[in-house]
Chain A
């Protein structure tokens, strides 16, 4: 349907977007952005409200289908895939606002994360791994998701994504609306997951904290990538400092 322009025939990076333009109805949210994530990296995408951060993640996960451009994951083109196919390929998105299932219990929320896994033993093992990151969830197993605090819901949303045993974990504003001490914990855990080999794409408004744990960063502004580079460079960049770190 779309006149997909693929500049290169093969993608060199683990995840690679080239010239991705996405729309919500008639409103263009991304004007053809290119970015990449290599295996084992933490890459962060920072920018203000409405810049197109969430749309970028949704275009990768398949919740939004790009009009033009291409997205490759592990060398395969995934541009037109629906979300459930991309999830099965190992791309997990922890959506903005957690979006846990409010009337499922914590246990059911976690179980549904491993929807495709049939082996009960594997599911139990993954659950134990989730508890090693978030011991609090173990105490709340039979509580309904919607009755938990914001921080607990964020932990559940991340735990639910881990149940998929993803290859790429995309987090959309994990710090939103949380107390500073909880944000600290969440970022520690993100780093810990990365040290265990997880590739992470982190979207944040909380630019300072994101740039401190990431390897590389992109700055997005009204649908365009305006800056990119190693985080140290971005942290010392005058433009970034005045716009996002003030």
Chain B
């Protein structure tokens, strides 16, 4: 028991890092689901593409002599903005080319779901091809950008805790994520387009009677969700250093799980679900071996996280933040 408590500060730091990544990717799933009732399986690969675009920008800038001495912060800003812009446009393009024609013909939702799985494969292989072709390897490792190490001295204040250590990238990931989460929340709750987005999600036909161009709102939704996902890909890259074209798959599934945990369609739910899932996963990774007396190692962390998910959904099938409003007809 004391060992578990000792490790808590480190679990918190690592869990938050992972949880922030899940949270932002989960938002992309939940926004699209909220508006189209479509599980856009390609979203995890948008995230992956963002990380590769970030790496590409990094390599390109480094190879330009006059830019190679640019401050790390500037470099990082360029990476994240370019990745967000490109993945945002990609998201809009995918919706136009793949999902909108299906919607126009009133195709069953299952067809759109299968299509999104297809897009997911296309993205993985396209990125793999381009990375392999340009660098000779589809697994990309970049030099660490923010590798300064910090230690929080929990131990001297609370003797039952160990210290927590983290890299500078943890701070960057946290700050950027928090900025993204707060701006998105303000956008959705306060602005005219945010209200329009919620209106379209609740009743598409009536929204069009309010002179809202529903297709444009859907495009805006895909742009925002995909740009956030792509930017998070860059955060993932600077935090973990290595990316491959298949990271979007499992991470996407987990982010989708986080969205369901928080209540699919609910943006704040997705944020909370993502952070919770990250914390649970890291808690399991650090402690499973202790809890089970060595029978299970940290590789069972996903099982632990998903058991929690199933338990939550058994008792609260609509998710932690599911729609609680009573609707009168």
Binding site for B on A (CB under 8 A): 61-63, 82-85, 87-88, 92-93, 95, 97, 99, 101-104, 108, 111-113, 115-116, 144, 146-150, 153, 160, 164
Contacts and interface: CB of A to CB of B under 8 A. Distances in A.
Given A101-B203, A116-B211, A146-B327, 13 more contacts: A62-B208, A63-B205, A87-B210, A99-B206, A102-B327, A103-B325, A112-B199, A115-B192, A115-B196, A115-B211, A147-B328, A149-B328, A150-B328
Contacts of B207: 101, 112
6 shortest interchain CB distances as A-B pairs = A87-B211, A83-B208, A146-B327, A99-B206, A88-B211, A102-B327
- Among B195, B210, B325, B327: residue with most chain A CB under 10 A: B210
Contacts of B214: 84
Interface in B157-200: 192, 195-196, 198-199
B198 to A, nearest CB: 6
A112 B329 contact: no
A104 B210 contact: no
B326 A63 contact: no
A102 B202 CA distance: 7
Contacts of B141: none
Contacts of A63: 205, 208-209
Instruction: Output the residue of B203, B211, B212 with the most chain A CB within 10 A.
Output: B211
Contacts of B198: 101, 103-104, 108
A83 B215 CA distance: 12
Contacts of A61: 209
A228 B213 CA distance: 36
Contact of B195 (A84, A104, A148, A153): A104
18 contacts: A63-B209, A83-B205, A83-B208, A84-B212, A87-B208, A101-B202, A101-B206, A101-B207, A103-B198, A103-B323, A103-B325, A104-B202, A108-B198, A111-B195, A115-B212, A116-B211, A146-B328, A164-B210
Contact of B208 (A82, A101, A149): A82
Contact of B192 (A95, A97, A101, A111): A111
B208 A112 contact: no
Nearest to A97: B329
Nearest to A95: B206
A244 to B, nearest CB: 26
A82 B213 CA distance: 9
B325 A146 contact: yes
Chain B CB within 10 A, most for which of A101, A148, A149: A101
B199 A104 contact: yes
A63 B210 CA distance: 12
Contacts of A113: 210
B196 A147 contact: no
A104 B194 CA distance: 11
Nearest to A105: B195
B210 A160 contact: yes
Contacts of A150: 328
A145 B105 CA distance: 32
Contacts of B328: 146-150, 153
A61 to B, nearest CB: 6
B327 A108 contact: no
B210 A112 contact: yes
Interface string B199-242: 10011011111111110000000000000000000000000000
